[in-house]
Amino acid sequence: MKARRLRRSSGLAFVVVSLALFALLFAPRVPGAAGLARAGELDASGARGDVLPLTGEWSLLGSVGGVEGASRYAALPRTWARPIGSATYGLTIVGLDPSVEYSLRMPYLRTSYCLSGNGLELFHNGVAGLSRAESIPAYAPGIARLSRGASRLYLTLRVSNYSHFEQGGPFQAILIGESSRIARFDFWRIFSDASIVVLCVAMGAMFILNAVMRRNSATFFVGLFLVHMGTVLFCNFSELLVLRAFPGLPWKLHNRLTYALAYTLPIWAFLAARSLFAKRPRAIAAIAILSPLGAFLVLFAAAPPELFMRLNLVYQTYTLLVCALSIAMGLGAVFRKEPYARIFTAGFFLYAAATLTVMFFHNGKFYGREYLSLVSLFYAGLIVMLNLFAATLLFRKERAPSIAAVPGDGKLAGRALTEKASAAGLSTREIEVLRLVLEGKRNREICDELHISLSTVKTHLSHIFSKTEVSSRGGLFSLFKF
- pLDDT category, 218, cuts 50, 70, 90? confident
Largest pairwise CA distance in the chain: 97
φ, ψ (nearest 5 deg) of residue 473 = -65, -35
pTM across the whole model: 0.72
Cis peptide before 401, with omega less than 30 degrees from 0? no
**Hey, do 41-173 and 414-480 end up sharing a CATH topology, with the first three levels equal?**
no
Say yes or no: domain 414-480 is CATH 1.10.10.10.
yes
What are the sequence ranges of the domains in the chain? 2-27+190-395, 41-173, 414-480
Q: What is the pLDDT of residues 105-162, one digit of tens each?
A: 998 887 899 999 998 999 988 899 888 888 888 888 889 999 888 889 999 999 999 8
CA distance 453 to 277: 11
Quote the Cα angle for 162-168-172, to 5°. Answer: 135
Instruction: Report which of 209, 338, 218 is spatially closest to residue 269, judged by C-alpha positions.
Output: 218
Task: Please give the pLDDT value at position 364.
Answer: 41
Mean pLDDT of the chain: 78
Weakest mean pLDDT among 43-47, 50-54, 270-274, 377-381: 377-381
Provide the 10 A C-beta neighbour count for residue 418: 17
Specify the CATH number of the domain 41-173.
Answer: 2.60.120.260
Instruction: Report which of 466, 473, 434, 474 is spatially closest to residue 450, judged by C-alpha positions.
Output: 434
Task: Please give the pLDDT value at position 406.
Answer: 41
Task: Please give the pLDDT value at position 279.
Answer: 63
Q: What is the mean pLDDT of residues 356-381?
A: 53
